[in-house]
Each structure stands twice: as C-alpha cells, then as structure tokens.
Amino acid sequence: MPVEITPALKADLNRVSHLLANAARRETLRLFRSRDLVADDKEGRGYFDPVTAADRAAERAMREVLARERPDDAILGEEYGNASGTSGLTWVLDPIDGTRGYLAGTPTWGVLIAVSDDNGPIWGVIDQPFIGERFFGGFGRAETHGPQGEALIKTRAPRPLPEAILFTTFPEVGSTDEAAGFRAVAAKARLVRYGMDCYAYALIAAGTVDLVIEAGLAPYDVQAPIAVIEAAGGIVTDWRGRPAHMGGRILAAANTAIHAEALEILSKVPDLS
C-alpha cells in the first residue's frame, strides 16, 4: 500500500534525518585522523574495502535514534543489514561513504541517509562531518548548511559535454568494459577529477559539477545522492537510463541534456556477464 506523504510526514522525516546525521557526526569524528584508527578488510571484493570501528559505531548510533523516533520504519544499513518495518518506509544508511578516504584523512567521505518507499528514495542527506557541511533534500527542494551559511541549492544549467566537469572513483572500481565506457566520456569532458566518493554527488546538487559516473555501487551508496540531486533539479539513472536506486552502474547528471550526452556513450557498454 502506498505511503501517504503528508506535510507532517515530510517535516518529521526532515527532523529525524538531521538527528541521525548529528548522531553519526559525533561517532565518525571521534576517530577521524586518530592514531588509534584501524581497519578491517571486507575480503572477497577484489580490492581493499575497509570497515572501521567508526563505521560500526555511527550506524549503531543512527539505529538507536530510529528505534526511539520512528520504530515502525524499516532499515537497510551497510554494516548491520536489514531490519523490518510496517510503515512502508525504509531508512537507507551508509555510516561512512568513502572509508578509504576516511582512513587517509581526506575530508571527502560522508554520512549518507535516505528514506525510501517502494519506488525509491524520497528524502536524502549527504553530510560531511569534518567540514561541517550538510546537503539535504527531497520533494522538490534541496538545501545546504555549512561554513558558508544556509542556502537553497540547484544543479548547473545545461552545457555541452566538452565544457563539463566530471567526477568518478574509476579506475578504483569497475570492470574493464566499465572503465572503457567511463574513459570514453572522460575523453570528451573539459575537466575530470577522481576519488571524491559521495562528496562529488553533493557538488552536482550544489551546482559546481556536471556529471558523476561510477559502477559497482550498493543501494546505500546511492539512494541519498539520488534524493538530494533530484530535489536540486538533476537526474540519476543507471547506464541504460533506468532507475538506479538499487545501485550498480550510476550516471548522475546536473540536467537532462548533459545526461543524454553521457548516456549515449555509456549505454553501449556491454552488460556484466
């Protein structure tokens, strides 16, 4: 049964999402750039995929808030999996998106929080605790709160691909074919930057970046960015132009025009066997 999105529900999702982000901020900052920080490797991924005590503590803290504030909602979290609910809404949590950046001490990792119904994310938060910068939105409105104050945000106006700024985590992830597809787009872009994790998606919403292209993502990697980018006027799909909230190959764009240019190239990449 579809969830009725009332003004009161919108306000409560906003309120609780900030409580979650605040709880995760406290936990992630405890160990950031600490000599006590150690990481385990999630083996079997084919590359170093770390998890830390901070990842686990931040997700536990967010789950504690949800147990108190919205106990009827379901939860999907990177570290502790699924918890069932009865409301028709699911909180999708990535306590540290960009744990490799977190380990390296760069301020480009973030906390990702989304609320989804059966059709995908309807509300999202991208929070960078060290900078104190938070991007959030849904229902046609996106905002940022941070060092430069509080403001509504909107994606960039259309421009041709040869004038575009493109971000990615390639060549760190992806198959050989996927990497080739990314390079085909990158060869046409004006500026390409690497390794920004979820912060790159926030910059699309903030209006400074045109495209993010990635592969191999999980739902908790992408649902918050989808909600924030779409609320700011952008578009996020897979490499065939289909809904992307379950992860996989991701094409995030500031507008439909630049999305169409990139999609024309990426749609030719063969499906994974």
- Which pLDDT value is given to residue 1? 59
Q: What is the pLDDT of residues 80-119, one digit of tens each?
A: 989 999 999 999 999 999 999 999 999 999 999 999 999 9
Residue 73 in tokens:
């909602």
Q: Which of 240, 267, 239, 264 is nearest to 160 (CA)?
A: 264
CATH 3.30.540.10 intervals, the chain? 7-152
Q: What is the pLDDT of residue 41?
A: 77
Structure tokens at 164: 């575009």
Q: Which of 36-50, 135-149, 195-209, 240-254 shows the lowest mean pLDDT across its residues?
A: 36-50
Please state the length of the chain.
273
Where does the pLDDT of residue 43 fall: very low under 50, low under 70, confident under 90, or very high at 90 and above? low
Query: Which architecture does CATH list for 7-152?
Result: 2-Layer Sandwich (3.30)
Handedness of CA 187, 189, 192, 196 (dihedral sign): negative
CB atoms within 10 A of CB 34: 11
Strand pairing partners for 136?
Answer: 125, 143
The CA distance from 144 to 150, in Å, is 6
CA–CA distance, 204 with 83 (Å, rounded to integer): 31
How far is it, in rounded angstroms, from Cα 183 to Cα 265? 10
Banded model confidence at residue 42, pLDDT cuts 50, 70, 90: confident
**Cα 225 to Cα 199: distance, rounded to the nearest angstrom:** 9
Query: Any idea which of 81-95, 159-173, 194-208, 246-260 has the lowest mean pLDDT?
Result: 159-173
Q: What is the CATH number of domain 161-266?
A: 3.40.190.80
- Mean of the per-residue pLDDT values of the chain: 94
The SS3 call for residue 20 is: helix
Give the mean pLDDT of 204-222. 97
pLDDT, residue 49, reads 73
Range(s) within the chain of domains with CATH label 3.40.190.80: 161-266
Strand 235-237 and strand 141-146: the pairing is unpaired
Residue 273 binned pLDDT confidence (cut-offs 50, 70, 90): low
Question: How many Cβ atoms are within 10 Å of 218's Cβ, its own excluded?
Answer: 14
The pLDDT, as a whole number, for residue 149 is 96
Q: Is the pLDDT of residue 3 over 90?
A: no
Task: Name the DSSP class of 230.
Answer: H
Residue 47: pLDDT above 70?
A: no
pLDDT at 146: 96
Q: Band the pLDDT of 186: cuts 50, 70, 90.
A: very high
